């Protein structure tokens, strides 16, 4: 399997016999002359949970849409299992209020379902009492639960959940992640999830892929959360500044271009640039470029490196 | 007093209203009112071309409506102007070109007012056959395409991800719009076609608990507007097309009165329980 060669060793713990549902190979999406994402590589197997994390505009939703065929890859390839049944929870769904749509009717949007299947899904997501409510009267969290229930009720091979818990309160968030894990265990479906909070999804995720226009780093949640690339992108604590100053070899400019350590500016940072901190295992075992000798390393980041891909 | 011509007008008008109801709901849900207007306005160009090349009126109007919507979609893809401005340009220039062409053709005498505002009282039995035949095709197609139409209206991405083909659905929707415009032109006229699509659907919103019911109610409310408008036209000697639209508007205003048509689903949902 492509994945097991490329992923961090820890990710190899999952069963190898599982069928691959989706496979992205060097896939990219280009719009108006610039790459939204590029060089994306990952597989999702049955029973596997892959989580995409990354800052706003990193191309997480774009990557998810590319994986399920809503967007066609402009380079590279995306292959899906034949007749792959997908349940999709998009990041945004604006329903015109002029359409009278109850939660129950929303469930059967793309295909018929039995009443019992609808009831089970609504019960699992905790919104049985809202079955007959109009969708436009739901709160943000209730609406997310309804969308999740819809995806679950379809009994898909692959669930694609783009920030599935947005607007849900903290306690509910943990419960929903538990539910997603339970569904994976019960049905053996694959899950592609997008989140901006790695710590919430850690326990239920097999592979984390950290995106920022390209794959910045990948591996088990533990490895990624310790990696310097992750800290650079997400570090909200005191050391983040130091990490930012010392570690990354390129800076993503607001217009999508990239300024490299040597001051040069390019349209994108393709993995082939060779400027990268790649945790994907391309250059496994020494993926952090100590070669960049002009970068003084901060203590904390060195600690991060030590535990990377443990 | 119910003359033959009046009965024919009623049958034709109700046929159009029944067809326009479900389609009008999609026009409202997809926010395509102005788009529908543009297609309708292009119908006059179709009329002019049909006279010039001596082809069937219905086919010419249908063809031009399709052509204009295709041009619009192509221009939108280039994103040089906002969709709104593009619609404004296409809508009025199609109408203007139609008017100019008709004026050039001094050898044909056409009743321009009848095309612009409808001439329902001059409906012939063959018109009725056309309206009900064409209407049956449109309604059958909408019933057949119902789930993908609703799904891609809610979210094209979800529809596409879950195995549907929203692009093809949209194409069929355009074809149905063009067909309805071609068959409804004679009843309410080019200028007023979209009102027969939109006003009954907007009125039905208040009474409907599901998309399906809204489509049914829109058909019924449209039919009521046709009956009311035609009787009003007969009583007060007003033009039939505009009278139907005024009747539809009155029904819409009635539906805005709070005491009417509040459905259970419309009351604010219970938000007490979370998590």
Instruction: Show pLDDT as tens, one digit a residue, over chain A (310 residues).
Output: 334 444 344 444 444 457 899 999 999 999 888 999 999 999 999 999 999 988 888 899 999 999 999 999 999 999 999 999 999 999 988 888 899 999 999 999 999 999 999 999 999 999 999 999 999 999 988 999 999 999 999 999 999 999 988 888 888 888 888 888 888 988 899 999 998 777 777 777 889 998 888 888 888 888 887 887 777 776 654 233 333 333 345 555 555 555 555 556 665 544 444 444 444 433 333 333 333 334 433 333 333 333 333 3
What are A250's strand-pairing partners? A260
> By the CB < 8 Å criterion, does A164 face chain B?
no
Q: In what order do the strands lie in the sheet with A215-219?
A: A86-89, A158-162, A190-194, A49-53, A207-211, A215-219
Q: Which residues of chain B have pLDDT under 50?
A: 1, 261, 263-275
Q: Are A7 and A281 in contact (CB under 8 A)?
A: yes
CA B65 – CA A106 distance, rounded (Å) = 33
pLDDT given at position A285? 37
Phi, psi of A57 (to 5 degrees): 80, 10
pLDDT in tens, B91-112: 899 899 999 998 888 887 788 8
Q: Which of B42, B193, B58, B67 is nearest to B134 (CA)?
A: B58
Shortest Cα distance from B197 to chain A (angstroms)? Answer: 14
Other CB atoms within 10 A of residue A130 CB: 26
Residues 63-102 on A with a CB inside 8 Å of B are 65, 68-70, 85-88, 90, 93, 95-96, 98-102
Q: Which domains does chain B have, with CATH numbers?
A: 4-254 (1.10.3470.10)
Minimum Cα–Cα distance from B198: chain A residue: A98
User: CB-hemisphere CA count at 13 Å for A309?
Assistant: 21
pLDDT of A298? 39
Decide: residue B252, CB within 10 A, 0-12 exposed, 13-18 middle, 19+ buried: buried
Delimit the domains of chain A by residue range.
Answer: 101-153, 230-307
Question: How far is the C-alpha of B141 from the C-alpha of B98, rounded, in Å?
Answer: 30
Cβ separation A133–B154 shorter than 8 A: no
Nearest to B29 among A99, A160, A175 (CB): A99
Q: Does B158 sit within 8 Å of A93, measured CB to CB?
A: yes
Which residues of chain A have a CB within 8 Å of the CB of B270?
129-130, 133
Is B162 in contact with A111 (Cβ distance < 8 A)? yes
Please count the residue pairs, one from chain A and one from chain B, whose beta carbons lie less than 8 angstroms apart.
108
The answer for A 119-138 residues in CB contact with B (under 8 A) is 126, 129-130, 132-134, 137-138
Which DSSP state fits B122?
Answer: G
Measured in degrees and rounded to the nearest 5, phi and psi for residue B151 equal -60, -45
Q: What is the pLDDT of residue A203?
A: 73
User: Distance (Å, rounded) from C-alpha A151 to C-alpha A122?
Assistant: 11
Predicted pLDDT of residue B11? 95
Q: CB of B158 within 8 A of CB of A90?
A: yes
What are the helix and strand counts (H, E) for chain A? 11, 12
- Sign of the CA dihedral running A123, A125, A128, A131: negative
Structure tokens at B129: 């056959």
Tell me the CB-side half-sphere exposure of residue A22, using CA atoms within 13 A.
Answer: 29
Q: Does B165 touch chain A (CB under 8 A)?
A: no
Quote the CA–CA distance of B119 and B210 in Å, as a whole number. Answer: 35
Residue A60 burial (10 A CB sphere; 0-12, 13-18, 19+) = buried
Task: Provide the shortest C-alpha distance from residue B40 to chain A (in Å).
Answer: 23
DSSP A197-249: -HHHHGGG-SEEEEESSSEEEEE-HHHHHHSHHHHHHH--STHHHHHHHHT-S
B209: left (phi over 0), alpha (psi -120 to 50) or beta: alpha
Q: Nearest-CA neighbor of A232 among A297, A284, A309, A306?
A: A297
What is this structure's pTM?
A: 0.79
**Strand A86-89, strand A158-162: pairing:** parallel
Exposure of B214 in the CB half-sphere (CA atoms within 13 A)? 28
Instruction: State the Cα–Cα distance between residues A53 and A163, nearest whole angstrom.
Output: 10
Locate B54 and state its tokens: 């001596």
Helix (H, G, I), strand (E, B) or coil at A91: coil
Helix (H) or strand (E) holding B70: helix B57-78
Q: What is the per-residue pLDDT across B200-259, written as a single tens digit (0 to 9) for each? A: 999 999 889 999 999 999 999 999 999 999 999 999 999 889 999 999 999 999 999 876
Q: B153: Cβ–Cβ under 8 A, 6 or more apart, which residues? A: A96, A99, B26, B29, B30
CB < 8 Å to A100, chain B: 205, 208-211, 213-214, 263, 265-266
| Maximum pairwise Cα distance, chain B | 75
In chain A, where does DSSP find H-type helix?
2-6, 60-67, 103-107, 115-124, 140-153, 170-187, 198-201, 221-226, 228-234, 239-246, 299-307
- Per-window interface: A 11-70 vs B, CB < 8 A: 65, 68-70
Pairwise CB contact (< 8 Å): A137 & B269: yes
- Nearest alpha carbon to residue A101 among B173, B179, B205: B205
Give the pLDDT score at B1. 45
Chain B within 8 Å of A291 (Cβ-Cβ)?
A: no
CB contact under 8 A, A102 and B210: yes
The closest of B21, B200, B221, B12 to B119, measured between CA atoms, is B12
CA distance B149 to B103: 40
* Chain B environment of A138 (Cβ under 8 Å): 269
**Residue A13: closest CA among A197, A223, A167:** A223
Minimal-distance CA residue of chain B relative to A160: B161
């Amino acid at each position: 399997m492509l994945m097991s060669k490329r992923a961090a060793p820890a990710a190899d713990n999952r069963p190898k016999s599982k069928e691959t549902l989706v496979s992205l190979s060097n896939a990219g999406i280009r719009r108006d002359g610039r790459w939204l994402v590029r060089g994306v590589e990952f597989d999702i197997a049955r029973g596997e949970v892959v989580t995409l994390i990354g800052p706003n505009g990193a191309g997480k939703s774009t990557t998810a849409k590319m994986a399920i065929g809503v967007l066609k890859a402009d380079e590279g390839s995306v292959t899906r299992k034949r007749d792959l049944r997908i349940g999709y929870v998009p990041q945004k769904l604006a329903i015109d209020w002029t359409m009278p749509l109850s939660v129950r009717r929303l469930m059967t949007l793309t295909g018929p379902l039995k009443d019992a299947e609808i009831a089970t899904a609504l019960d699992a997501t905790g919104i049985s009492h809202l079955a007959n409510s109009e969708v436009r009267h739901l709160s943000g969290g209730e609406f997310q639960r309804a969308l999740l229930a819809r995806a679950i009720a379809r009994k898909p091979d692959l669930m694609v959940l783009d920030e599935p818990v947005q607007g849900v309160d903290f306690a509910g968030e943990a419960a929903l992640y538990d539910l997603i894990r339970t569904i994976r265990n019960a049905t053996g479906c694959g899950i592609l999830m997008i989140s901006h909070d790695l710590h919430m999804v850690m326990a239920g995720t097999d592979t984390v892929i950290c995106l920022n226009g390209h794959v910045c780093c990948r591996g088990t949640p533990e490895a990624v959360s310790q990696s310097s690339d992750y800290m650079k992108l997400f570090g909200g604590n005191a050391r983040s500044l130091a990490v930012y100053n010392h570690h990354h070899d390129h800076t993503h400019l607001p217009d999508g271009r990239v300024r490299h350590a040597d001051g040069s500016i390019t349209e994108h940072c393709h993995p082939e640039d060779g400027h990268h901190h790649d945790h994907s295992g391309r250059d496994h075992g020494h993926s952090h470029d100590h070669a960049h000798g002009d970068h003084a390393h901060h203590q904390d980041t060195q600690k991060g490196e030590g535990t990377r891909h443990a | 007093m119910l003359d033959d011509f009046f009965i024919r007008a009623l049958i034709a008008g109700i046929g159009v209203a029944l067809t326009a109801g479900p389609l009008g709901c999609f026009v409202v849900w997809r926010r395509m009112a102005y788009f529908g207007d543009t297609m309708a306005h292009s119908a006059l160009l179709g009329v002019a071309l049909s006279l010039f090349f001596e082809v069937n009126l219905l086919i010419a109007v249908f063809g031009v409506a399709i052509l204009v919507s295709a041009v619009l979609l192509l221009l939108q893809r280039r994103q040089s102007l906002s969709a709104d401005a593009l619609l404004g340009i296409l809508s009025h220039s199609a109408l203007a070109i139609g008017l100019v062409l008709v004026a050039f053709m001094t050898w044909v005498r056409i009743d321009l007012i009848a095309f612009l505002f409808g001439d329902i009282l001059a409906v012939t039995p063959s018109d009725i056959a056309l309206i009900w035949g064409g209407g049956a095709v449109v309604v059958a197609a909408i019933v057949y395409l119902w789930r993908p139409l609703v799904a891609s209206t809610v979210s094209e991405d979800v529809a596409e991800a879950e195995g549907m083909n929203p692009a093809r659905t949209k194409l069929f929707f355009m074809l149905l719009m063009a067909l309805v415009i071609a068959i409804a032109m004679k009843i309410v006229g080019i200028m007023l076609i979209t009102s027969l699509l939109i006003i009954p659907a907007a009125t039905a919103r208040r009474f409907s608990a599901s998309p399906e019911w809204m489509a049914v109610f829109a058909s019924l409310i449209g039919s009521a507007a046709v009956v009311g408008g035609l009787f009003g036209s007969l009583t007060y000697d007003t033009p039939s097309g505009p009278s139907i639209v005024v009747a539809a508007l009155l029904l819409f205003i009635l539906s805005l009165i709070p005491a009417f048509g509040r459905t259970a689903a419309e009351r604010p949902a219970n938000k007490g329980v979370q998590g």
